[in-house]
Structure 1
Amino acid sequence: MSFIEKLTRRWEQANSLLCVGLDPVLDRLPASLREQSPNIAELLFAFNQAIIDATHEFAAAFKPQVAFYSAEGEGGEEALERTVRYIHETYPDIPVILDAKRGDIGSTA
């Protein structure tokens, strides 16, 4: 099945065109979450997992933005990998759009 076919099928299943952006900024995570662990990968993944689990019913797709993860170094890269793997394993019918463009807005420069 092509990506477009998968996305179209998901639009129909969810009756929604919602694309959930997963663009975490470490400093903006809730303090209660930041206090749970000093591990960047754990924090970012836990934040993403909560968003994914809360929105999967309505999501036509999930879209992590690579620049937000790259900004956090190895921990960010690990969180991105874990996030994509989690979506594929837990919600395999929901497509993942990896947003890898840079410099289109200030936060991705």
Structure 2
Amino acid sequence: FTRWFVNSVIVSTIVTVINIFLNTMAGYALARLDFPGRQRIYYAFLAFMMVPAQILLIPNFLILSKMGLLDTLTSLILPAAINIGNIFMMRQFFLSFPKDIEEAAEVDGLGRFAT
């Protein structure tokens, strides 16, 4: 039981940290950066949100087995590394966040990553 609990803590901690980092960056890019195809990527994310997770079980299994990652903690972490629902929520947060604060940080000398 102790080993199972430790595995759960390890996986949940790593997935949470990776999710916060990657989903925040993706949400910020979709909300604040101007690049070609931004709206298309956003609409593709919305379309992918409509795909049930159960449909992706077999493709995920096949990919992880070809990579030789079955029966490892990495096989639990990789599929959960990015969550489109969280990207959508972060995008909405950054759209509601005032640009004035971001501009004030830029005036103070912060770069885009530090902001």
Q: Which protein shows a greater Rg?
A: 2
Task: Verify same fold: TM over 0.5.
Answer: no
Higher helix share: 2
Question: TM-score with structure 1 length normalisation?
Answer: 0.31
TM-score (norm 2): 0.30
